[in-house]
Chains A and B, each alone.
Chain A
């Protein structure tokens, strides 16, 4: 994380009210879409920059400190994947890939190459802003708590969580489908294992806050997660309720 963002601030704060607006670089070859994205980002309190192709992107990155890159996959010349790889060689700046292709392989390639998220076109304004905020918050929280970046696989009581591919595998190796909010919530738990986490903090850490969530919706999400994580004969539930406070993730987490 570079020092221009609010990463130096001791406590996580709402980014929209941060003293310096985060800079977002839009790399998109379609001029109208680029203009629209810039306008939207400006309205949402970001400081947008734009580039139409790879060379332009490199120029912008040389002269500006950027907090996040919105990168289209289909670009003239070197495509988004190439650019993603190129950026990752030099910096950890968060990258969100935008793609017209909906298939899973593209998403996985993007995430494997080190992109932080992948959004299929067409996306709504709300969805885009929510994802950008979630990623900025996640990376800043990461730089703060010295949580290593990158895509380490995490394991707990046989389960395996891959934050890069956003995948959860059960103890018998089966892929377990999680909704976006469920995944973020689980990631929050696994990032702070065996510690009591309050509902407020969970709300902050999971994307649920952007889908008109309330305290109750955290409880709903936790119960859904419990059901998906249930294993026959498990002595202790992985997610235990701490009355009046929040939840604790009981298992030890190993990073690989």
Chain B
């Protein structure tokens, strides 16, 4: 047996239910408020006046001989209030809530009426304006009855105010309640929107499968979609990586074969081509495998890496220099860090013609700066140089090696080590690249 579920499972059902509840609430609420609207000050004053009249007339008639009472009562009558006298009661108490309310108010206004027999009958005139015809019969001491017949007039503005006012307060209340409920209902949707935004930036976000039935379905489909996309991307990455690895064997053959070429110029050209292909392959594999690099983080001397790279460049007769700290440990993956710094140094040597490395410590941050005297990066290109496969136009015409992944990989590596990459054009010309990492 399925438990009886009153809460609808689908979003449409839930919204409908909330709206229906709100309308019902508004309806009930306004009815109650409307009943109470007669307690507005205007009505209260009128009721007090009637009670006063009743008491005054009672005092006068008591002192008047029975024969003159009818005449006296007529004299005391006004246009709004007719008074009369009779030996026998001419009125049966209405006995309804309305009459009891009036009785209570009478007794409150004139405590002298306490203990007296008072019959009331109130008839609401349902035509606008909603006046009340009130009849009261008070038993005098000798057992005869005095009657009072009046009309309690409700000013149109009071009706309007009570109606609009109650509707307004209630409506507001209901709107707030409905908003809260709907907000609650739409939370899964907002979570979905946020997740979709994050997914667009490449993160994997699994969202909770909660909320209304159809929203649950959306969440489930969304999660499944993410898994499929991740699966597809992984398959592609793996396929590319596999091709990359497989290419190494023919490249190895090619490189070895190059060693057998007798013509020195041809051999060097061949070797340079193989080197270029290898470099492209390395950068592609580094880019693709960036997130899954199994190398563990460890305490690493940043200075030693920078020195090794500068020494390598110097050995290849490239103008590279190193200044700054002799040791500066950071937490990172040494091979990744070396690749990052090497990419920056290669760029500086290639585009700038020289590379001046300096390592300093700024508080808790290790700052490795690589400066060159090249043309720098045009301001319009600054935002794009970090994008994968992007190359400066001048770089393309120069027919340079590489796939345009160098800086992307540096960015990837630094991001993973909790660092930042800063590119700045120097005032005196050239580019300054800063690798900022948390120092130990």
A residues neighboring B (CB under 8 Å): 30, 32-33, 36-37, 39-40, 74, 98, 100-105, 120-126, 128, 170, 172-179, 182, 211, 224, 227-228, 230-231
Additional 20 contacts, C-beta under 8 A, given A120-B248, A122-B278, A124-B271: A30-B249, A30-B253, A74-B245, A100-B245, A100-B252, A103-B293, A103-B335, A104-B333, A122-B253, A122-B256, A124-B258, A125-B256, A126-B259, A172-B299, A174-B301, A178-B304, A179-B311, A182-B308, A227-B307, A228-B301
Residue of B nearest to A182 (CB): B308
A36 touches B249 (CB 8 A): no
Contact call A121/B308, Cβ cutoff below 8 A: no
Query: Cβ of A37: which chain B residues have Cβ within 8 Å of it?
Result: 256
Expressed in whole angstroms, the Cα–Cα distance for A33 and B253 within the complex equals: 5
CA distance A30 to B285 in the complex (A): 22
In the complex, what's the smallest C-beta–C-beta distance from A173 to chain B, in angstroms? 5
Kindly identify which residue among A103, A174, A179 contacts B327, using a CB–CB cutoff of 8 Å.
A174
Q: Is the CB of A36 within 8 A of B256?
A: yes
Whether a CB of chain A sits under 8 angstroms from the CB of B165 is no
In the complex the two chains form, what is the Cα distance from A177 to B293 in whole Å?
Answer: 19
Q: List 28 A-B contacts (CB under 8 A).
A: A33-B252, A40-B259, A40-B260, A74-B245, A100-B245, A100-B248, A102-B285, A103-B335, A104-B333, A121-B249, A121-B251, A122-B252, A122-B274, A123-B255, A124-B259, A125-B256, A170-B301, A170-B329, A172-B299, A172-B329, A173-B299, A174-B440, A175-B301, A176-B304, A177-B301, A177-B305, A177-B307, A230-B327
Does B49 lie at the interface of the complex (its beta carbon under 8 Å from any beta carbon of A)? no
Task: State which residues 329-352 of B face A: CB under 8 Å.
Answer: 329, 333-335, 338
Q: Is B202 an interface residue (CB 8 A)?
A: no
Of A37, A40, A124, most B-chain CB atoms within 10 Å = A124
Task: Please give me the residue from chain B that is nearest to A170 by CB atom.
Answer: B301
Say yes or no: B259 contacts A125, CB within 8 Å: yes
In the complex, whether B393 has a CB less than 8 A from a CB of chain A is no
B233 lies within 8 A of chain A by Cβ: no
Nearest B residue to A217 via CB reads B315
A104 x B301 contact (CB < 8 A) = no
Chain A residues within 8 Å of B312, by CB: 179
Tell me how many residues of B have a C-beta within 8 Å of chain A: 43
Residues of chain B within 8 A of A172, CB atoms compared: 299, 329
Task: Please name all residues of chain A whose beta carbon is closer than 8 Å to the beta carbon of B307 when the two chains form the complex.
Answer: 177, 224, 227-228
Q: B residues 275-311 with Cβ under 8 Å of A?
A: 278, 282, 285, 289, 293-295, 298-301, 303-305, 307-308, 311
| Distance A120 CA – B281 CA, assembled complex (angstroms) | 13
Q: Is B254 interfacial (CB 8 A cutoff)?
A: yes
Q: Which residues of B does A touch, CB under 8 Å?
A: 245-246, 248-249, 251-260, 271, 274, 278, 282, 285, 289, 293-295, 298-301, 303-305, 307-308, 311-312, 315, 326-327, 329, 333-335, 338, 440
Which of B252, B285, B299 is packed against the most chain A CB atoms within 10 Å? B252
Nearest residue (CB) in B for A221 is B311
Query: Smallest CB–CB gap between B200 and chain A, Å?
Result: 30
Inter-chain contact A174/B256, CB cutoff 8 Å: no
Contact A176 B301 (CB under 8 A): yes
The complex places the Cα of A123 from the Cα of B278 at a distance, in Å, of: 10
Q: Which residues of B contact A176 (CB under 8 A)?
A: 301, 304
Inter-chain contacts of A173 with B (CB < 8 A): 299
A104 in contact with B295 given A40-B256, A170-B327, A172-B329 (CB within 8 Å): yes
Contact of B294 among A39, A103, A178 (CB under 8 A): A103
Instruction: Assess A101 versus B305: contact at CB under 8 Å? Given A36-B253, A37-B256, A175-B300.
Output: no
Query: How many Å lie between the Cα of A74 and that of B248 in the bound state?
Result: 12
Task: Provide the bound-state CA to CA distance between A101 and B248, in Å.
Answer: 9
In the bound complex, how far is the Cα of B249 from the Cα of A74, in angstroms?
10
Q: Which residues of A contact B258 (CB under 8 A)?
A: 124
What's the Cα separation between A30 and B251 when bound, in Å? 12
Q: Is the CB of A33 within 8 A of B248?
A: no
CA of A73 to CA of B336 in the docked complex: distance in angstroms?
A: 22
Residue of A nearest to B300 (CB): A175
The answer to whether B248 and A177 have CB atoms under 8 Å apart is no
Q: How far is the CB of B237 from chain A (nearest CB, A)?
A: 15
Chain B residues positioned under 8 Å from A105 (CB to CB):
294-295
By a CB distance below 8 angstroms, the chain B residues around A128 are: 256
Within the complex, the shortest CB–CB distance from B409 to chain A, in Å, comes to 13
Closest A residue, CB atoms, query B322: A227
Tell me whether A32 and B253 are in contact (CB under 8 A).
Answer: yes
Contact B326 A175 (CB under 8 A): no
Contact B308 A179 (CB under 8 A): yes
- CB neighbours (8 Å) of A39 from chain B are 260
The CA of A173 and the CA of B440, in the complex, are separated in Å by 12
User: Is the Cβ of B245 less than 8 Å from the Cβ of A36?
Assistant: no
Residues from chain A with Cβ under 8 Å of B329 in the complex: 170, 172, 174
For A122, the chain B residues whose CB sits under 8 A away are 248, 251-256, 274, 278
* CB <8 Å contact, B311 and A33: no
Q: Which residues of B contact A98 (CB under 8 A)?
A: 252
Q: Give the residues in chain B near A230, CB-CB below 8 Å.
A: 326-327
Q: Which of chain B's residues have a CB closer than 8 A to the CB of A40?
A: 256, 259-260
Contacting pair A103 B246 (CB below 8 A): no
Q: Are B298 and A175 in contact, with the CB atoms below 8 A?
A: yes
The residue of chain A having its C-beta at the shortest distance from the C-beta of B312 within the complex is A179
Q: A100-B245, A122-B274, A224-B311 are in contact. Are A177 and B252 (CB under 8 A)?
A: no
Tell me, rounded to whole Å, the shortest Cβ–Cβ distance linking B344 to chain A.
16
CB-CB under 8 A from B326, the residues of chain A are: 227-228, 230
Minimum Cβ distance to chain B for residue A127 (Å) = 9
**A87 → chain B, closest Cβ, in Å?**
22
In the complex, what residue of chain A is closest to B293 when comparing beta carbons?
Answer: A103
Known contacts A103-B293, A104-B295; decide if A121 and B252 are in contact (CB<8 Å). yes
CB distance from B272 to the nearest CB of A (A): 11
**Which residue of B is nearest A43, CB measured?**
B260
Within 8 Å by CB of B282, from A102, A124, A125, A178, lies A102
B338 touches A100 (CB 8 A): no
Closest 3 CB pairs of A and B: A125-B259, A122-B252, A100-B248
Report A-chain residues with C-beta under 8 Å of the C-beta of B246.
100
Let me know if B295 and A103 touch, CB within 8 A.
yes
